[in-house]
Structure 1
Amino acid sequence: MCVFVLSLLPYFCVLTDQMDYTSYASPSDNTSSSSSSLSLCPSAATLFFLPSVYTLLFLTALPGNALSLWVFLRCISTISPTHIYLSHLSVSNLLLSLTTPFLAAYYAWGPVWTQSGVLCQLVLHGITPVLHINVYISLMILTWVALSRFAALIQHTHASRPSTCTTLLPPAFFTRLTRASFASRVCALVWVVAVGGTVPVTVYYSVNEARSGNATAAGGYEEAEKGGCMEACYNPAVEIGGSLSAAFTVPVITMFFVFYLLVLLSYMTVLRHIRRSRRSTNITTSQGLLGRVFRNIVVIQVVLSVCLLPYHIFKPIFIFLAHYQRQLTYPPRTSAWNHCHPLSTFVELKNCLLLLAALRGSTDPVMYFFLDKNFRQQTLILFGHNRNNPGGRPAASTTADFSRESVL
């Protein structure tokens, strides 16, 4: 799903914006003003496409993550670090799914909402932080899943010679990564870091800079303010932000790439170990396990790269464009909607890529089902499709092997 939407989102957003941009543009005159007085011109990408996909995300992510959380907490008896990590990820996705109707409403009616309205304040101060918290909780949890799977494979497979990591890192490091108690403490820390690091930035972004931006714009165009245009919830001050919030965003983007490269390095190390183990291991079950690990690693890395990476690649570009745009001046408007902000297209592209990152909340339950044998078995039991094990509990061999082959 993420791959399909990625191939369509940028083209759809940019093309529809260019088609509708001309309907708002107007001739300029010789005077100039700050770009804070210009309006974002929402196209079909904002008014129809984003609300529709966010609604679809709600309809798929809410039941999918609720079912996943139920399976992890009530149906699987073997508690492993992977179960703990994925249960916390399901909680984060479940919270995100509850916010998507408000995001759909914001993109559909944000241009006509007043910024002082209750719904606008709810979206800016409550819903938007939850969306960003979900993105970075997902990143950190997937990173720790990669590290725990790396430790489990090092301990349960054998290569022609020990891995370099086993000689550089102490054995206690690998032991802790495979303990459920350690995973619980890591998840608690992940929530603290994600909430504590995201909320101050988003609050400052949406409160201080949005209000100051609208106050500056209203001072230049009193007649537009009387018409309510300058108080629109969907406006440049909110969607673009200011210099200080952009400075706060840079460390967050840096953190993403550090974690992303750590995940990539972990998976590459695991793949190298798998290839070496495959050449030296003669046990059939171990060969099958290594094959499943290889498949799962490829799927996870593709989803992480497709859903989260594009937004974090584009965000620094967007920050640079916003900084460059603040140095320019533009002709004043003679009416409320006769001149578009020059970054209207890029704002919509940014929002489309953020939607792509949020779509991972809908695809995660599908990943659990196809990549986790125990999760798949218990889910089929709930739907009455347990053909091989009528008793409803995993076989002894399955339970024994689960700690090794649960690789999400």
Structure 2
Amino acid sequence: MNNSTCLLQPSLATTVALPVIYSCLFPAGSFGNILAAWIFSRKAPTRRTQYIYLANLVTANLFVCSTMPFLAAYFAGGNHWSYKSVECRIAHHVGTLVMHVSMYVTIIILCSIALSQYATLKKSSDPQYSQAVRESFCRCLLQAFCQPKFAKYLCIIIWLIVLCVTVTAITHDVQAWTWGDFHRCYNIKVEVGETTAKIAGSLATACFFVTFMTVLWSYYSLTSHLSKIQKNTCIGEKHLIYSTVKRNILVVQMILTVCFLPCHIFRPIFYVLLRHDDCPRLNYLVEIKNFLTCLAAAKSSLDPVINLLLDKTFKKSLYGLFKKSIPEHQKRDADIFTEMGKDMENFSRP
């Protein structure tokens, strides 16, 4: 049966709730991430590894937020737009495609942050770690995530891949846009995708679970390592730094679990249950997919709130914007996502 025989019928949840949610997330996320970027540019040391990762994370968040007005317009009026209209193409390319690509940039950078924090703390707390790094390729690669030069090159490579994927996908879509006999923009081809889109979605899902398990491994490995050294030695003043790093990795894990895990668990289920000749089921599956994608996109708007609640340096820098001057003892180097800073460097020296 031809796919076009099944017409998607969006419910009020899609045509009303999703546009309202995206319309609320857009100003909040844009303002918060622009403010975070401004604080980074004024307070954060540009040669710190964490700053490099966070600057790129904020950039990816802003890309996700910039797509939200297009998504809001698409879900509100896509069922009435012509499939070959300009607004349909813009909503699909700028909205859906750029949002998904940017979300995976945030996932990879979050994983890099977790690995960087894990490797830094492991090196500083284990005197034999530096020698072990030279003897193990995996540990050497792990340690590279702590190096600013590696972080810069990694982020450059990520964005180059993003550019190539985006340009290739848009070029393919433009060439194939006349295929099919669809009349409305909100249709199966846009919402479900063709074979190429399904393959790309499956690869992206596999990539997510690799990063998810990597962060999960780093958290439990770090927890086990800290429990071991606490039994054997008195860590004293280092306890606060250990707790901070452990908490930051846990925050990354919680973000991946709450925001990204549901949509990636549902994606293979979506492909398995997908039947083009069962319109009611297809409508339900598409709407569940769209709401879980919205949950993943909401992470980009919540990042500044998470920084404000959990990071003292970010909070002090934000409060400092409303004061004429900040006491000298509060002017720390701002490693926004982590509080290790110079303390970590000091106690890691022999």
Q: Report the TM-score when normalising by structure 1.
A: 0.75
**1:284 counterpart = 2:236:** yes
Q: CA deviation at 1:170?
A: 7.0
* Partner in structure 1 of residue 293 of structure 2: 354
Q: Alignment partner for residue 182 of structure 1, among 138, 150, 172? A: 150
**1:366 counterpart = 2:305:** yes
1:128 and 1:165 map into 2 onto residues whose CA distance is: 45
Q: Alignment partner for residue 247 of structure 1, among 175, 199, 210? A: 199
Q: Are the equivalent residues in 1 in contact too, given 2:212–2:253 (CA < 8 A)? A: no
Q: Alignment partner for residue 117 of structure 1, among 85, 92, 95? A: 85
1:112-191 matched pairs, under 5 angstroms = 112-158=80-126, 166=133, 168-169=136-137, 172-173=140-141, 175-191=143-159
1:211-290 matched pairs, under 5 angstroms = 211-213=178-180, 215=181, 230-290=182-242
| Range that drifts further, 110-119 or 150-159 | 150-159
| Range that drifts further, 260-269 or 96-105 | 260-269
Q: CA deviation at 1:164?
A: 12
Percent of aligned positions that are identical: 33
Q: Are the equivalent residues in 1 in contact too, given 2:241–2:344 (CA < 8 A)? A: no
- 1:163-195 Cα offsets, whole Å, 9 max, x none, are 997564477545532221211111111112233
Q: Are the equivalent residues in 1 in contact too, given 2:33–2:58 (CA < 8 A)? A: yes
Q: Are the equivalent residues in 2 in contact too, given 1:62–1:97 (CA < 8 A)? A: yes
Q: Alignment partner for residue 262 of structure 2, among 304, 307, 310? A: 310
- 1:216-261 Cα offsets, whole Å, 9 max, x none, are xxxxxxxxxxxxxx42111112111223321232222212212221
Unmatched segments (≥5 aa) in structure 2? none
Q: Are the equivalent residues in 2 in contact too, given 1:41–1:344 (CA < 8 A)? A: yes
Q: Are the equivalent residues in 1 in contact too, given 2:192–2:286 (CA < 8 A)? A: yes
Q: CA deviation at 1:276?
A: 1.7
Q: Which amino acid aligns with 1:375?
A: F
From the superposition, tell whether residues 241 and 395 of structure 1 become closer, same or farther in structure 2 (CA, over 3 Å).
closer
Q: Are the equivalent residues in 1 in contact too, given 2:123–2:129 (CA < 8 A)? A: no
Q: Are the equivalent residues in 2 in contact too, given 1:308–1:357 (CA < 8 A)? A: yes
From the superposition, tell whether residues 38 and 211 of structure 1 become closer, same or farther in structure 2 (CA, over 3 Å).
farther
Q: Are the equivalent residues in 2 in contact too, given 1:209–1:238 (CA < 8 A)? A: no
1:174 and 1:108 map into 2 onto residues whose CA distance is: 45
1:404 and 1:130 map into 2 onto residues whose CA distance is: 42
Q: Report the TM-score when normalising by structure 2.
A: 0.87
2:210 and 2:216 map into 1 onto residues whose CA distance is: 10
Aligned length: 342
Q: Which amino acid aligns with 1:311?
A: C
* Partner in structure 2 of residue 381 of structure 1: 320
Please state whether the residue corresponding to 2:62 is helix, strand or coil.
helix
Unmatched segments (≥5 aa) in structure 1? 1-32, 216-229, 331-339
Q: Are the equivalent residues in 1 in contact too, given 2:118–2:245 (CA < 8 A)? A: no
Structure having the higher Rg? 1
Q: CA RMSD in A?
A: 3.0
1:121 and 1:378 map into 2 onto residues whose CA distance is: 41
Q: Are the equivalent residues in 2 in contact too, given 1:278–1:290 (CA < 8 A)? A: no
| Range that drifts further, 82-91 or 270-279 | 270-279
2:132 and 2:255 map into 1 onto residues whose CA distance is: 26
